[in-house]
Each structure stands twice: as structure tokens, then as C-alpha cells.
Amino acid sequence: MSYEDVSRDNSQRKKRKRCLLLGVAVVLLTVIVFAVVLGLTLNRATNSGEVLKDTVISRCKTYLKEYANLTSVNDCERIWGAFEQAYLGKDPCEVHPEAYDPLINSVTDHVFCGTMLFWSKTKTVVHEFTDNRECLFTLEDTLLGFLFDELTWCSKNNSQEIFTTGCPGWSECVNNPVRSFWIRASANFAVTACGNVSAMLNGSLELPFSTTGVFGSIEVKNLDPNKVDGLTVLLVTKETDTTTCANPSFQTLRNTLDPNIALNCRQVPYGKVENCISNLDIPCNDCF
């Protein structure tokens, strides 16, 4: 596939993605209003599992409708079933990452080499950028990440119920359903990475790279040197920040990263990223 084809496909994906969440919200709102009118919400509105399923299935169908080339290899009901079985009936602190292997195997997506962007402590600015520009993609821009972004779920031991409240928080226990999902999905995203990849890190922190976060503990370690040529750190800094690419935490990153993968770092002013988000006439190559 030529660079022009990749760029054109990426552009189409990004334009479509900006409409996805809005489209899903409209669909769900329409369903809820329709159900209220018919008086059918008595049971379903109080069933958080059904609401979660409606959300996931609606997101899935909307995503696949926008990216028609993925429809034939993805089945939304099958994806939901694999997701549900990962944690249903289990202690919410005993759902291990590998429980999501069937879910990972049930999803097919296409991400182009050289477009994959990792992040740590920069979620807001990263997604403002990828929602508006076509050159880079995060895990949350893929089908798998899009389906479950910002959602909460869990079950109980020997229960067939699904809950979206009262679930353990990220740090409350290590093997909780949400944390284990993102660890497994992040590992898969890293394993599929190829070409030159990027990571946007927070220059406002004393140590931008940490071995305890998902990027440092999972994604960096799963980059395949047979497929990944180099990792470029995009260190986003504000005017008052003093952290630079000479920060000692990047030596820790170098030691964590496979020695066969080149490591580079660029200091990127936060204002420059903001300009690229708001001014689409600026070429992506000039943003970093």
C-alpha cells in the first residue's frame, strides 16, 4: 500500500471517528426515549448489564458501519460474548488479563505501520490530537479500545449479573476486570506495533517515564524488535516546565526497551500541539 493510500485511509478513519461517539449517543438516546414511550423500561433501565451491552453493541455497530471493510471479519454479538465471559460470575478482584484472550482473538482491526501512538499521563491532549488529525492512532482509536473506553464493569462470584457501579477501582486490587482488560489490550496493541512508533509523555512531571504505568510496565516490554524500528518520545512541555530529553528517567526507558529498537526524544511545546489540533492546515509532520 502506498503512502498516499495510507494517508487517505487514515484521513477517512479520523473524520469518521469524530462522529462515532456522537452517533452512538444519539442511537442510545433514541432507544431509551422509544422505550419510555412504550413503557418498556421498567426492567431494562434498572439492569446495568443490559445497558452496558446496549452501549457496547451500539458502539460496535457504529464503528463497523463507518469502517465497512472490517464488517465481514467482526461480529458484534460474538465480541460481546467473549467480553462477557471474561469476568461474568467471577470475583471482581480475581479476573486476570489472560481471561480476555478470547476477546482479543475475536476482534480484527487494521492499524498501519508508523502510525501508532502510545501515551502516559497525557490522555486528554493525546486524544484531542488523534480525534482531529489523521496521522497517528492510539489504542482507544482502534475497534477494541473504542468499544470499552471510559466504561466500568464487573460481576460477582457465582453471579450472572453484570454491574457498572460498585466495582473495584484501578488500584483497589490488581486483577480487577477493567484494569486487567486494559493491560491485556495494551499488550496486544504493543505486540502489533510496527515501523516507527511514538509515545507522548508529560513534560510537567519530574520523571516523565515510569516503569509502574501501563506504558512502562506493559507496552514498552511488548514492542517486537523484529517489527519495530524505533520509538520516538514526544515530550510535551509547557513554558514553566524544566524537564527535558536529558531527564534520567529516559535512561530507565532505554534500559527497559529492547536494545535493538532505536530510542529518540523530541521536546514539543504544548502550544505547538494545541495549534496542530485547532489548525488542520498545519501538516502532521510539522506538529512534532
**Model pLDDT, residue 37:** 43
Closest to 216 measured CA to CA, from 180, 193, 183: 183
pLDDT digits (tens, 9 = 90+) for 12-34: 555 555 555 555 555 455 544 44
Give me the pLDDT at residue 12, please.
54
pLDDT of residue 15: 54
pLDDT tops 80 at residue 201: yes
Q: Which domains does the chain have, with CATH numbers?
A: 3-286 (1.20.82.10)
Using the predicted structure, report yes or no on whether residue 282 has a pLDDT greater than 80: yes
Average the pLDDT over 131-158 and give the result.
96
Q: What is the structure's pLDDT at 110?
A: 87
Percent of the chain with pLDDT over 70: 84
pLDDT band at 40 (very low <50, low <70, confident <90, very high): very low
pTM (predicted TM-score): 0.84
Task: Give the pLDDT score at 259.
Answer: 98
Tell me the average pLDDT across 46-54: 90
Instruction: Return the higher-pLDDT residue of 66 and 33.
Output: 66
Residue 36 pLDDT = 45
Pick 45 or 210 by higher pLDDT.
210
Rounded CA-CA distance 237/43 in Å is 50
The alpha-carbon radius of gyration of the chain (Å, integer) is 20
**pLDDT confidence of residue 31:** 47
Question: Which tops the pLDDT comparison, 16 or 170?
Answer: 170
Catalytic residues: 113, 194
Cα dihedral 20, 271, 135, 229 in deg (nearest 10):
-130
User: Is the pLDDT reported for residue 85 higher than 80?
Assistant: yes
Q: What is the pLDDT of residue 68?
A: 86
Mention every residue, 6+ apart, whose C-beta is less than 8 A from residue 38. Answer: none
Mean pLDDT (the chain, rounded): 89
Q: How many CB atoms lie within 10 A of CB 238?
A: 11
Each residue's pLDDT tens digit, 113-128: 999 999 999 999 999 9
pLDDT for 111: 81
pLDDT tens sequence across 233-249: 999 999 999 999 999 99
Three-point CA angle 118, 122, 125, nearest 5°: 100
pLDDT higher than 50, residue 104: yes
The string of DSSP codes covering 38-64 is HT-HHHHTT-HHHHHHHHHHHHHHHHH
Rounded to whole angstroms, the Cα distance separating 52 from 164 reads 8
